[in-house]
């Protein structure tokens, strides 16, 4: 173990070393020192003291590398790079001169305030990097202003949001002066170790060269791999020139903008010296304008008519046409009008003057959509609650929502029994366009679901976009193939009725979607890509009635696009995006290409704005990663009875109006389409569902008072993503019992697959849990059972299918193991059903429900051979189907929960 290695290792653990007389004094997180490290320190005390008494060395490790135990921000400028193969191998240099007038102003200012020009311009660069990335703890590499030495200085300077430019310049000036008095490198490291460490530091900061009297284009760019992006400032006392020398991997347009933005900040000096850093403007007015208006030309002006008034027009125009078909039971447009009027009367007797919330907790049927319409006509807002979610979660939702009425199956039957007694006249309560129209249940970080409120105007705008821009016509057949309570489903209940189309619903599980589409000749489908990725080639062949498919919520596999285009050459395919809190869809993109790593989420729908912003709500330039923020007519009212979370996510911007922070990351491409880049918090997407990891942690923490710390994380195992829960406990925990407990409080897709008990969590140098250092999961972390060998050829064949699907060795799979507890997912379930049905030994066709009933190989084999088998599954068949539907279906956006 080398001395330099031990110093670095202890520094990352938050331990510093000082010399007192002839002893080493350890300070900081001493408990993190290993036995091996203690032994090394003892045996090499004299050598280590020799290093430490050299203040240059100690200064470098303590102050420069570790910011005094604060973690450095790794400067990530990959957003400025080209994507794909780089053809050009020649570095690019862009250059601009500063006007003589501005140059003289800056010289006077630096002389009057006793600061160096190098400090001023280094500050400008640091500010721009901060505004680009939001990173505050960055080391910048610069040169020592000396004619005798060629030395590199590593300058640390932590940015604070509310400080002014002038204050930061003074700090920069002091940091440069302090660094120039110390030889940070001389005799410190052997050449190999020096180059290695230099490479690590270069990753956190590019090179900034300030030169007085000579130009040095490219001097610092030699032999620096593909990382260099050098700012070169030449001050010859008469003129100031700024140039950027960059590796070919950086995109020329981005580097030119970087230079323009540097110059724009310089040109604002010294007038802006008292400006707070996050308020500094660095883009031109024309660039700002192009970024602030990102909505396309509005296809249709939003009329003054309400949603119900527009639907009434359709009811009159298409009165005898079929509006809804549920498993062969049809309702005409006139029937829907009649039933919804009756429902409105019925609900009004419970809710008085409207303006309340009505919970809809019924199964799919021909009456489902008329009930929703009746709620809206009564002046109330509806919230669809899946009848089959865990009872504790349902109870928590109902408590939060404070519904005036829960319209369940018993209530539906009561309505149908009394329908003849209800007056058939219209009774539509007046509502404002700003009133709530529906509520959407989402995952919450406090352990309780959040309930988002959407308005009439936002929802109607969404429906008009869906009808007009996607293009739904009266001859279309729109198939509902997602869970009834999901966000994307809501627009499919109403937009087809505005267009005079027919809506098809069935209670069959998602495993039978191809048959549903084929049988009903569905032309429009709105679903998650994951659903289509489970289809076989034979199933794709029966989808030839489709003319439009709208995807959303997760990355699209290009193979899906290819399969659909091979089937129907002129099919239109869209990628859509938007949060539950802003009326479901905010942007969309028509996919014309077949192969790309990441299909864009497009541009905003009419009357909606989608921005890429930094953490201070400033719009970012093209190419830079930031948070996706939604504005415009679609932004909702916040969360029911949750003002704290509403204040965090919703914001009244003085310039852009009401905004919603999605928590999603994205960037604007050169054509102004948005590329989705993932999440910036502890919400994640798993098989299309938005998962709040903190909600899982909250539920697991409540299992036992012995559980001290819980952390939920998304892990990868055998090329699949799963949820893992890590925990520390004072007493042994039975993971099987913990899982049963979580199933009472969490939806199926949020129940972890892996359970890992730790003695303690790995920590970062500043004492936070280090997620990157968590141990990898393995098969042993699933819910284990006693191993039982397969008996007979049939069980062996089923085990082989499981082995291939789950990427496990056959010897790892016990015949009494639960499919869903050793890595089985809903998509793998569909594949399992298809492969088992091809086995000649089965006496009856297997369905997904059968796998829920008999999730072990031994019991499934017995059932399929017609033998007696006891079901372990205590839910009804309908609930099983709902579980599959819930897991595979998806809200049509990236941040919907």
Q: What is the CATH number of the domain that holds 857?
A: 1.10.1200.10
**pLDDT for position 892:** 29
Helices (DSSP H) in 203-318: which residue ranges? 252-267, 285-292, 307-317
The answer on 367 and 423 residing in a single domain is yes
Does any domain span residue 892?
no
Q: Using CA atoms, how far apart are residues 590 and 149, in angstroms rounded to an integer?
A: 58
Same-domain pairing of 269 and 122? yes
Please report whether residue 514 resides in a domain.
yes
**C-alpha span between 771 and 711 (Å, rounded):** 9
Are 624 and 722 members of one domain?
no
Q: What is the pLDDT of residue 205?
A: 46
* pLDDT in the model for residue 227: 59
Pair 497, 530 in one domain = yes
- Structural domain includes residue 880: no
For every residue of 616-674, DSSP letters joined together read TSPBPPTT--EEEEEEETT---EETT-HHHHHHHEEEETTTEEEEEEEEEEEE-TTSPE
Query: What residues does 153 pair with on adjacent strands?
Result: 142
Tens-place pLDDT, residues 736-746: 889 888 887 78
Q: Specify if 201 maps to a domain.
A: yes
CA gap 751, 699 in Å, rounded: 10
Residues of the chain with pLDDT under 50: 55-58, 61-62, 65-69, 85, 147, 185-197, 199-200, 202-205, 215-223, 295-300, 765-767, 873-897
Residue 860 belongs to what domain range?
A: 792-817+819-871
What would the pLDDT profile of 314-352 be if each residue is shown by its tens digit? Answer: 999 999 999 999 999 999 999 999 999 999 999 998 887
Indicate yes or no: pTM above 0.85: no
739 & 768 share domain: yes
Q: Is residue 537 classed as helix, strand or coil in its secondary structure?
A: helix
* pLDDT score at 134: 84
Please check whether residue 766 lies inside any domain of the structure. Answer: yes
pLDDT at 52: 64
Looking at the structure, tell me whether residues 549 and 639 fall in a common domain: yes
Is the same domain home to 715 and 739? yes
- Same domain? For 767 and 807 the reply is no
Q: By percentage, how much of the chain surpasses pLDDT 70?
A: 81
Q: Where are the beta strands (DSSP E) in 462-501?
A: 477-479
**134 and 208 assigned to the same domain:** yes
Both tokens of 104, joined, read 């003289």
Residue 839: strand, helix, or coil: coil
Same domain, 722 and 850: no
> How far, in Å, CA of 667 to CA of 230, rounded?
24
Q: Would you say 612 and 660 are in contact if contact means Cβ atoms under 8 Å apart?
A: no
Closest CA relative to residue 77, chosen from 21, 37, 133: 133
CA atoms within 13 A on the CB side of 212: 10
The reply to whether 470 and 367 lie within a common domain is yes
Q: How many domains does the chain have?
A: 5
Under 8 Å CB-to-CB from 426, ≥6 apart: which residues?
341
Q: Could you tell me if 560 and 586 are in contact, meaning their C-beta atoms sit under 8 angstroms apart? A: no
- 311 shares its domain with 241: no
Percent of the chain, pLDDT > 90?
34
Q: For the chain, how many residues are written?
A: 897
Residue 158 lies in a domain: yes
List the one residue out of 454, 546, 465 whose CA is nearest residue 498.
Answer: 465
The DSSP line for 194-244 is HHHHHHHHHTT--EEEEEES---TTGGGTT-TT--EEEEEEE-SS-EEEEE
* pLDDT at residue 222, rounded to an integer: 46
In a domain, 68, yes or no: no
Is residue 670 within 8 A of residue 626, CB to CB? The reply is: no
Strand pairing report for 689-692 and 683-686: antiparallel
Which residue has 């590499």 as its token pair?
Answer: 141
CATH code for the domain in which residue 397 is found: 3.40.50.12780
Q: Which structure tokens are listed for 113?
A: 């305030």
354: left (phi over 0), alpha (psi -120 to 50) or beta: left
Looking up residue 108, the CATH number of its domain turns out to be 3.30.559.30
**Which of 644, 674, 704 represents a domain boundary (last residue)?**
674
Q: Is residue 891 part of a domain?
A: no
């Amino acid at each position: 173990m080398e001395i330099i290695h031990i110093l670095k290792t202890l520094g990352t653990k938050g331990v510093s070393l000082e010399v007192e007389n002839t002893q080493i004094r350890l300070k900081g997180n001493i408990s993190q020192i290993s036995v091996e490290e203690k032994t090394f320190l003892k045996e090499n005390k004299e050598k280590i003291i020799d290093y430490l008494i050299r203040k240059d060395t100690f200064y470098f490790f303590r102050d420069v590398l570790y910011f005094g135990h604060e973690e450095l921000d790794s400067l990530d400028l990959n957003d400025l790079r080209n994507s794909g193969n780089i053809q050009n191998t020649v570095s690019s240099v862009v250059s601009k001169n500063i006007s003589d007038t501005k140059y003289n102003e800056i010289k006077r200012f630096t002389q009057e305030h006793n600061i160096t020009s190098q400090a001023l311009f280094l500050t400008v660069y640091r500010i721009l990097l901060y505004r680009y990335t939001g990173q505050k703890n960055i080391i910048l590499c610069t040169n020592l202003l000396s004619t005798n030495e060629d030395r590199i200085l590593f300058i640390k300077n932590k940015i604070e949001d509310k400080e002014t430019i002038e204050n930061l310049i003074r700090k920069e000036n002091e940091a440069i002066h302090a660094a120039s008095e110390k030889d940070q490198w001389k005799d410190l490291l052997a050449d190999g170790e020096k180059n290695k460490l230099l490479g690590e530091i270069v990753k956190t900061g590019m090179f900034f060269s300030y030169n007085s009297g000579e130009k040095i284009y490219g001097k610092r760019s030699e032999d620096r791999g593909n990382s260099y992006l050098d700012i070169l400032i030449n001050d010859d006392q008469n003129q100031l020139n700024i140039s950027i020398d960059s590796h070919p991997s950086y995109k020329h347009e981005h580097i030119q903008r970087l230079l323009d933005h540097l110059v724009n900040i310089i040109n604002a000096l010294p007038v802006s010296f008292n400006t707070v850093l996050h308020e500094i403007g660095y883009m031109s007015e024309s660039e700002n304008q192009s970024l602030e208006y990102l909505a396309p030309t509005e296809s249709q002006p939003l009329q003054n008519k309400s949603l119900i008034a527009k639907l009434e027009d359709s009811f009159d125009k298409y009165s005898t046409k079929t509006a809804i078909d549920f498993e062969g039971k049809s309702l005409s447009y006139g029937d829907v009008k009649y039933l919804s009027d009756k429902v409105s009367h019925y609900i009004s007797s419970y809710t008085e003057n409207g303006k309340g919330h009505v919970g809809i907790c019924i199964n799919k049927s021909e009456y489902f959509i008329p009930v929703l319409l009746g709620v809206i006509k009564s002046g109330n807002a509806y919230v669809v609650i899946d009848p089959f979610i865990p009872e504790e979660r349902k109870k928590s939702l109902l408590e939060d929502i404070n519904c005036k009425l829960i319209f369940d199956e018993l209530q539906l039957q009561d309505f149908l029994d009394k329908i003849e007694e209800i007056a058939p006249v219209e009774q539509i309560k007046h509502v404002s366009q700003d009133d709530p129209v529906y509520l959407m249940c989402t995952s919450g970080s406090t352990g309780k679901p959040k309930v988002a409120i959407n308005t009439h105007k936002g929802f109607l705008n969404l429906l008009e976009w869906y009808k007009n821009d996607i293009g739904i016509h009266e001859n279309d057949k729109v198939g509902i193939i997602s869970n009834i309570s999901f966000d994307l489903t809501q627009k499919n209940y109403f937009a087809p009725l505005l267009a005079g189309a027919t809506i098809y619903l069935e209670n069959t599980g998602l495993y039978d979607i191809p048959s549903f589409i084929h049988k009903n000749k569905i032309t429009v489908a709105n679903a998650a890509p994951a659903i289509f990725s489970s289809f076989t080639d034979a199933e794709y062949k029966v989808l030839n009635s489709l003319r439009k498919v709208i995807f959303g919520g997760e990355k699209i596999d290009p193979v899906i696009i290819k399969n659909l285009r091979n089937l129907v050459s002129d099919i239109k395919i869209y990628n859509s995006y938007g949060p539950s809190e802003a009326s479901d869809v905010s942007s969309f993109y028509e996919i014309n290409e077949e192969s790309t790593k990441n299909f864009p989420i497009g541009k905003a729908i009419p009357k909606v704005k989608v921005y890429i912003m930094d953490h201070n709500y400033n719009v970012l330039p093209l190419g830079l990663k930031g948070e996706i923020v939604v504005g415009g007519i679609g932004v909702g009212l916040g969360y029911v009875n949750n003002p704290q979370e509403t204040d965090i996510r919703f914001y009244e911007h003085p310039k852009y109006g009401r905004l919603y922070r999605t928590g999603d990351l994205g960037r604007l491409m050169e054509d102004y389409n948005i590329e989705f880049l993932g999440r910036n918090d502890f919400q994640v997407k798993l098989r299309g569902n938005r998962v709040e990891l903190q909600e899982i942690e909250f539920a697991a923490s409540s299992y036992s008072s012995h559980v001290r710390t819980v952390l939920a994380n998304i892990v990868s195992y055998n090329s699949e993503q799963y949820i893992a829960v890590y925990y520390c406990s004072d007493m042994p925990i039975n993971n099987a019992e913990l899982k049963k407990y979580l199933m009472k409080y969490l939806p199926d897709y949020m129940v972890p697959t892996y359970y890992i008990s730790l003695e303690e969590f790995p920590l970062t140098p500043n004492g936070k849990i280090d997620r990157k250092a968590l141990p990898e999961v393995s098969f042993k972390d699933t819910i284990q059972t006693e191993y039982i060998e397969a008996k007979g050829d049939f069980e062996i064949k089923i085990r082989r299918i499981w082995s291939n699907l789950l990427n496990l060795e056959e010897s790892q799979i016990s015949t009494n193991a639960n499919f869903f507890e050793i890595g089985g997912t809903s998509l793998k379930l569909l594949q399992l059903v298809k492969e088992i049905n091809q086995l000649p030994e089965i006496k009856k066709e297997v369905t997904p429900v059968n796998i829920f009933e008999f999730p072990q190989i031994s019991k499934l084999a017995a059932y399929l051979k017609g033998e007696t088998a006891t079901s372990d599954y205590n839910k009804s068949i309908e609930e099983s189907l709902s579980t599959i539907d819930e897991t595979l279906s998806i809200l049509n956006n990236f941040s919907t929960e």
